[in-house]
């Protein structure tokens, strides 16, 4: 059917104009700035999780924290984040996406301050709980907002932003570990935690200047406001009108159907999508990435590096490699597609973990062996780079875009819950795992999981590049 705007076109055109190619559409930069601002909350999430990597060295010395307590403190924040993740869908559907991001910042203010002022293990656990709730909110709402604000032409880029900001936060936490390591022991780790609370007030204020998600506005019946946001965030006026029609179709279909759990019980397509989301999030974390994020210095110490300063410096390089390689995923997600990046990523992860496990098996117990230490460092860097160019960011991209609108909040919450459970299991068992089956055995186990994730991507995940969010309902039969 012809669009009404076609009537405004000239009735006659020059003959040679008929065959000339259409002018390229200029991409709208406004949704990029909105997604950046929303995703910056993820910096705090990455910082609060990974700051334990270096802080644990000084906490153990200052407060007498044991290895078992460090293992729990490092990983329990991921379990605590389940509270925020499971509440995020309900909160964001009622308060809106923007206010949910503001709420996450409030938790990120209170949690790190409690940690910085802690006098013992109990208060440390309280601080990790509060920060963990903020983590759960941030993990769910940042990619959901980015996916809902973005036009199809740049959705892969914009929904990758939370992951690059998480990794930027990880990198900043490593820099903080190194920068404050020279302070007296009783101050160093406290300053490391307190530094994470500083940006929260400014970020919360900035988020309030963003537009609300057009899909949330349409769900609430505020169609005129949704149309105004779409006009500002689409590449063309025609696209804005088309997006609004698609959103209204999905909202009306959702209003006439049952609830989320009714659809899960009655629609095979919905069950398939949820199974994909849960499995993808399971593989993202069970392949062991957070063991490297939180225990990088310990892994390198087992590989023969003995200097604390060198350990923390190499940890910063981990962070740089991890954050920098996300840019590759961001630049290729909307060009090469999701599947090629995910396959290259999971294959590279399996190979690098196999090499790392072999190094530990062949040279276990080596101390001050520069060659073994350098090779182990290179294998770890290869692993984090492979993870960050594909499975790291694209698990969130793929999950957020295949969920139907009416179930996106709840579905993203369940996917995030799976992600955090597996992250908590991995980080809270890593020390016990390598003590039980050796460091080589631990990395061989992670390599097997990465290989299984390659098979899952190859067999089960169709390409989604360039499709509108509403078109996903046709692809996965979730209408």
Span 114-119, average pLDDT = 92
pLDDT range class, residue 7, cuts 50, 70, 90: very low
Weakest mean pLDDT among 239-253, 314-328, 401-415: 401-415
**Side-chain-facing half-sphere of 282: CA atoms under 13 Å:** 12
Task: With beta carbons less than 8 A apart as the criterion, state whether 116 and 48 touch.
Answer: no
Task: With beta carbons less than 8 A apart as the criterion, state whether 143 and 396 touch.
Answer: yes
Neighbours of 222 (CB within 10 A): 15
Using one digit for the tens of pLDDT, what is the confidence trace for 117-161? 998 899 999 999 999 999 989 888 888 888 788 887 776 677 767
Nearest to residue 203, comparing CAs of 47, 418, 394?
47
Task: With beta carbons less than 8 A apart as the criterion, state whether 476 and 402 touch.
Answer: yes
Nearest to residue 140, comparing CAs of 215, 217, 38, 69?
38
The number of angstroms, rounded, from the C-alpha of 66 to the middle of its chain's C-alpha atoms is 30
Using one digit for the tens of pLDDT, what is the confidence trace for 55-102? 988 898 889 888 889 889 988 898 898 898 888 888 988 899 999 999
Nearest to residue 43, comparing CAs of 96, 90, 112?
112
DSSP H or E segment with residue 118: none
Q: How much is the pLDDT for 245?
A: 86
Span 417-421, average pLDDT = 86
How many angstroms separate the CA atoms of 83 and 100, rounded? 14
How many angstroms separate the CA atoms of 454 and 343, rounded? 6
pLDDT range class, residue 474, cuts 50, 70, 90: confident
Q: How much is the pLDDT for 8?
A: 40
Structure tokens at 386: 């492979």
Q: How much is the pLDDT for 9?
A: 40
Could you tell me the pTM of the whole model?
0.74
* Burial bucket for residue 192 (CB in 10 Å: 0-12, 13-18, 19+): buried
* Burial bucket for residue 439 (CB in 10 Å: 0-12, 13-18, 19+): buried
**pLDDT(109) > 90:** yes
Structure tokens at 74: 């490092």
Alpha-helix residue ranges (DSSP H) falling in 96-120: 97-116
**pLDDT(21) > 50:** no
């Amino acid at each position: 059917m012809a669009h009404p705007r076609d009537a405004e076109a000239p009735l006659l055109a020059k003959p040679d104009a008929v065959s000339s190619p259409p002018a390229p559409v200029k991409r709208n930069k406004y949704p990029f700035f909105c997604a950046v601002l929303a995703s910056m909350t993820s910096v705090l999430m990455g910082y609060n999780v990974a700051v334990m990597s270096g802080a644990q060295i000084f906490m153990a010395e200052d407060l007498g924290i044991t290895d078992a307590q460090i293992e729990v403190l490092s990983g329990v924040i991921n379990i605590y984040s389940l509270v925020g993740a499971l509440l995020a869908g309900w909160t964001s559907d009622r308060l809106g996406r923007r206010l949910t991001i503001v709420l996450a910042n409030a938790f990120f203010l209170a949690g790190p301050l409690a940690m910085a002022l802690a006098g013992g293990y109990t208060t440390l656990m309280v601080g990790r709980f509060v920060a963990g709730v903020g983590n759960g909110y941030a993990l769910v709402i940042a990619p959901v907002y980015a996916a809902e604000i973005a036009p199809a032409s740049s959705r892969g880029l914009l929904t990758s932003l939370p992951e690059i900001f998480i990794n930027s936060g990880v990198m900043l936490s490593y820099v903080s570990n190194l920068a404050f390591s020279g302070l007296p022991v009783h101050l160093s780790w406290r300053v490391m935690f307190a530094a994470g609370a500083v940006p929260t007030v400014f970020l919360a204020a900035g988020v309030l200047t963003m537009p609300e998600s057009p899909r949330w506005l349409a769900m609430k019946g505020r169609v005129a406001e949704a149309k105004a946001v779409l006009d500002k965030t689409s590449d063309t006026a025609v696209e804005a009108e088309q997006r609004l029609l698609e959103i209204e179709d999905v909202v009306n279909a959702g209003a006439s159907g049952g609830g989320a759990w009714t659809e899960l019980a009655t629609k095979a397509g919905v069950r398939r999508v949820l199974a994909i989301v849960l499995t993808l999030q399971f593989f993202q974390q069970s392949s062991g990435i957070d063991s490297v994020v939180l225990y990088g210095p310990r892994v390198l110490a087992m590989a023969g590096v003995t200097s604390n300063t060198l350990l923390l410096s190499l940890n910063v390089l981990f962070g740089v490699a991890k954050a920098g390689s996300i840019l590759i995923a961001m630049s290729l997600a909307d060009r090469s597609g999701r599947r090629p990046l995910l396959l290259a990523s999971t294959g590279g992860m399996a190979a690098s973990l196999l090499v790392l496990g072999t190094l530990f098996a062949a040279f276990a117990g080596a101390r001050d062996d520069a060659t073994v230490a350098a090779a182990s460092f290179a294998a770890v860097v290869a692993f984090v780079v492979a993870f960050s160019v594909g499975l790291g960011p694209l698990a969130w991209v793929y999950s957020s875009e295949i969920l139907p609108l009416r179930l996106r909040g709840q579905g993203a919450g369940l996917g995030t819950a799976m992600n955090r459970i597996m992250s908590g299991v991995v980080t809270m068992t890593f020390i016990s795992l390598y003590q039980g089956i050796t460091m080589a055995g631990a990395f061989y186990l992670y390599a097997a999981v990465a290989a299984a994730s390659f098979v899952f991507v190859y067999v089960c995940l169709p390409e989604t590049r360039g499709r509108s969010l509403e078109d996903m309902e046709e692809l996965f039969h979730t209408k």
